[in-house]
Structure 1
């Protein structure tokens, strides 16, 4: 058995939920005959059941009540938009299997999950046939219908008639979106042709010849083909992974193909671009980038970000292929390739239109996490009529070469975040900085040992973090270096919703000891650790077995770390992080570990600093711009009815684009730059800039002004606090 504590928020990064969001209904007589599980698959199901029943942190038996909960979640994982399975389907299978679902899993009997999956597949095929037949004819894009895209909490359809009306609206709405996206691409092509200087010498004209209906039919064909290609192990994975994630969102089962993928990533070396992906929770037609490998080709471009949706992939000298509806495995297979060859991704952030998509070319390479890591620099920050020299320590993750350490390699022969941080702090101390900002934004976590070593560089002594296991035993990680501090000056820690796990441990300890000011927005809330089990007969599993607690006794789970001073939250309105997952572990407390704070920020001081910071943010062009983007994002709420009419949809998107362009031009005027004359030229500029930045080395790429605004504000608050 191989055990490895997984502290980052990435344990489900490549989870095998291969299921499309779609919309359908048909009779059980048309269900495909399910496969008969092999002996190995049955044993695997029993082993996974034992892990949940006996080893999970919750200490929750896999009993009848838990089986009912797993079954209910299975319906929602297969059909998250609640547009495919009728209520009668759910009622039928609930009546048939709710009482026995748990005992079946314990016995290694997968037949119930397989039968339900085949009903799902029947419904999906009927939808695809319906939609493709509709698209083979002229489609009226001017209707008086409305559609709610986010149906996660909506009731399931009771009749085929109301379900078919939704499919019709969905297909029409998709075609409207495709049509408008193509209009944007044509306008952008025109801007490049009329103003060649925008492309900066790069070939960025798309020149798409297919009609929107042809593109959409191709997408539906791929989705249907993907569904038909699912192998038996993949269906087993869907059943077992659902069972594990009903216990908590970070427990996962990986079938052999996915287990091999996890093994490759844990070894920190593969020929690819260095991203972790999974099907989007709300809309599995889309694949979401969960994280970037430190120093990997994607991270080096500076244009691929966590939370991006992959909507297209192009091989060298080949056209862009629309990959909406592709499985994570299929996308991995086209992204991977020979070292030194290019692959181009088309990506966009959630809750943005396809016209906001970015096209990024990445050169495949051997991905090693050690190739990049801690970055440090000194910036000059205006302060009270003078200038302060501020050290910036950027921590991408709490990385460690586990393989090298296990093999007994010399500590000087491999990379770890604590080694690199010690070197960076030594260099910064020699430059006589006036204060230090530790940037943990979008840091997904990593090694518990490493975050403990790092905290010891900033704190004198005392408990750092408490770990509680599924037996109630508590272990305390303590700084016992006799009061040594590699850095003892002024300190601020910058966090956001993308900061998870080990990042939260670091920020919480700095906050509890009063060692520095914690600034930004509330963190992910991933306060658990998983053990990796490779001793099951097929594939592997990650099981949550431990939970983190602050020295004060409060958990970092679910609540996350709340900053002392709030800054604009760039993820406002986006649904990700622990609090948005289904079945997250709850927040709770244990007994505090005795410790002596090194300092304490008084409540009146924090209130004054917060008030002054808000005033600065309201006048700073970068924060004004980011706040306006948050407001614009709220204009297209998928929980509210949207008009299924191309003119009204175009008008709404035009409004969004006008506001976005106005926000960009306002900050350009405020910073002495020339405004853009149109949306198309702005988008063309972004494409060209992205390609230009991608060609630069990571440490030579200019920092984006909206990112640097956080560093400046954190530094200002740090000095004001003292």
Structure 2
């Protein structure tokens, strides 16, 4: 075997010092766990150094070394996947603000799909949701700025602004022949992750809009409150347009309905990226019949919950296919106040299904729609006929259709399924 060329045996520091301009050497190189990884591709580094120097000498305007290096790091991360990114000071601070649950903007989660800026989900009760923006709407323009070639961070910066200021969004929606333009007024976005109510006596509705640190605790409290209002015959867990959030919170929500078994596990290259979460015996609602609502805006941690409950056969998953974001990102602060968001692992459901680019398919597909009620709400019945025989029983009280059910076809179908499960359960007792 021929000996290795001497240049390939150089340490990363010595090789970089040999090939790159002095400005590049101010950035410390991390220690590599694998000694074989110390062998850097000499030709590629030479090419990088040559491009760097040519830009410095020949670009139409003078560019400082710091800008070139940061642009190089942005490109290095953005080309890995849509969720990895280099964050300068402002972007890092903006990300921290958004994870704390309060910020100024329109209340929308965005991502890149086939190179196009796309709505992942509008957040509940925000300007975006009230304006009717939907998951998978493609954002063509933000005010007068086309989004073609725009990065996610640039889009976020344009959409955020002073509360009370207006922003115009132009989107293309699947099934439409021309773009839709909406004008929104920015607000301070305060996100509430859990809401609950009784749709009808005995049938509960639990809405989880995203997963924050205390979401699991709030879900348990909401279930307890509904049970205090009377026996729960069934429960709808609404995860539609839920963009995800804290992994531990998603595990806690699934645990509220499971007494044992695996909830989710992750796999990555490094040992500290491999985790698993299993259900504990203490469970808020182990036996309540359950329907889980999902759609194309259900992503990440929402898909973890739906996948776990589906694999464990704990409930019926209804709606449409989810977004398919099954990757784990870590936010890594850098010593200069900036940061790196890096994909480090993938999620897997208890049965070993990868969520990434696959999503969760519902057990029962129900597309988005609207319930249309006639003026009377019913047709002609026996009791409407002249001279009909009267009933010996007292007339039963009619229930009015709630506003939530009136405007939400998928939720109405979920309630119908819960009622059917209750009837079957009673007959089998």
TM-score by length of 2: 0.70
Give the match's secondary structure for 2:95. helix
- Partners of 2:112 and 2:351 in 1: CA distance: 37
- Partners of 1:38 and 1:305 in 2: CA distance: 49
- Partners of 1:117 and 1:306 in 2: CA distance: 43
* Equivalent pair of 1:290/1:306 in contact (CA under 8 Å): yes
Structure 2 partner of 1:398: 211
Within-5 A mapping of 1:473-552: 474-480=274-280, 482-486=281-285, 488-537=287-336, 539-552=338-351
In the TM superposition, residue 418 of structure 1 has moved relative to its aligned partner by 1.5
* Equivalent pair of 2:262/2:279 in contact (CA under 8 Å): yes
Pick from 238, 247, 255: which aligns with 2:88?
255
CA distance 1:238–1:281, change in 2 (3 Å): farther
- Partners of 1:118 and 1:268 in 2: CA distance: 46
- Partners of 1:257 and 1:555 in 2: CA distance: 34
- Partners of 2:84 and 2:203 in 1: CA distance: 41
Within-5 A mapping of 1:229-628: 236-277=69-110, 282-283=115-116, 288-292=118-122, 297-299=126-128, 301=130, 303-309=132-138, 321-324=143-146, 335-339=159-163, 341-351=164-174, 356-365=179-188, 367-369=189-191, 372-380=192-200, 390-400=203-213, 416-429=214-227, 430-471=229-270, 474-480=274-280, 482-486=281-285, 488-537=287-336, 539-568=338-367, 622=369
Give the match's secondary structure for 1:519. strand
In the TM superposition, residue 364 of structure 1 has moved relative to its aligned partner by 2.9
Per residue, is there more helix in 1 or in 2?
Answer: 1
* Equivalent pair of 1:443/1:499 in contact (CA under 8 Å): yes
* Equivalent pair of 1:310/1:323 in contact (CA under 8 Å): no
Unaligned runs of 5+ in 1: 1-35, 68-98, 123-227, 314-320, 381-387, 401-415, 571-621, 624-666, 674-700
- Partners of 2:240 and 2:317 in 1: CA distance: 12
CA distance 1:322–1:423, change in 2 (3 Å): same
- Partners of 1:506 and 1:512 in 2: CA distance: 10
Q: Give RMSD over aligned pairs.
A: 4.4
Give the match's secondary structure for 1:449. helix
- Partners of 2:417 and 2:38 in 1: CA distance: 50
Unaligned runs of 5+ in 2: 1-19, 376-401, 425-429
* Equivalent pair of 1:394/1:439 in contact (CA under 8 Å): yes
* Equivalent pair of 2:121/2:297 in contact (CA under 8 Å): no
- Partners of 1:239 and 1:450 in 2: CA distance: 35
* Equivalent pair of 2:310/2:316 in contact (CA under 8 Å): yes
* Equivalent pair of 2:140/2:172 in contact (CA under 8 Å): no
Q: 1:140-163 deviations in whole A, cap 9, x for unaligned?
A: xxxxxxxxxxxxxxxxxxxxxxxx
Q: 1:172-212 deviations in whole A, cap 9, x for unaligned?
A: xxxxxxxxxxxxxxxxxxxxxxxxxxxxxxxxxxxxxxxxx
CA distance 1:235–1:564, change in 2 (3 Å): farther
Per residue, is there more strand in 1 or in 2?
Answer: 2
Within-5 A mapping of 1:107-186: 112=51
Structure 1 partner of 2:43: 100
Give the match's secondary structure for 1:398. coil
In the TM superposition, residue 395 of structure 1 has moved relative to its aligned partner by 0.9
* Equivalent pair of 1:294/1:397 in contact (CA under 8 Å): no
* Equivalent pair of 2:293/2:317 in contact (CA under 8 Å): yes
* Equivalent pair of 1:110/1:236 in contact (CA under 8 Å): no
* Equivalent pair of 1:310/1:345 in contact (CA under 8 Å): no
* Equivalent pair of 1:522/1:560 in contact (CA under 8 Å): yes
1:716 equivalenced with 2:387 (yes/no): no
CA distance 1:489–1:266, change in 2 (3 Å): closer
TM-score by length of 1: 0.44
- Partners of 1:114 and 1:392 in 2: CA distance: 62
Q: Aligned pairs, how many?
A: 373
- Partners of 2:62 and 2:157 in 1: CA distance: 14
Q: 1:494-532 deviations in whole A, cap 9, x for unaligned?
A: 112322221122112211221111122232332222221
* Equivalent pair of 2:203/2:233 in contact (CA under 8 Å): yes
The structure showing larger relative contact order (alpha-carbon pairs under 8 Å, at least 6 residues apart) is 1
In the TM superposition, residue 719 of structure 1 has moved relative to its aligned partner by 4.4
In the TM superposition, residue 438 of structure 1 has moved relative to its aligned partner by 0.7
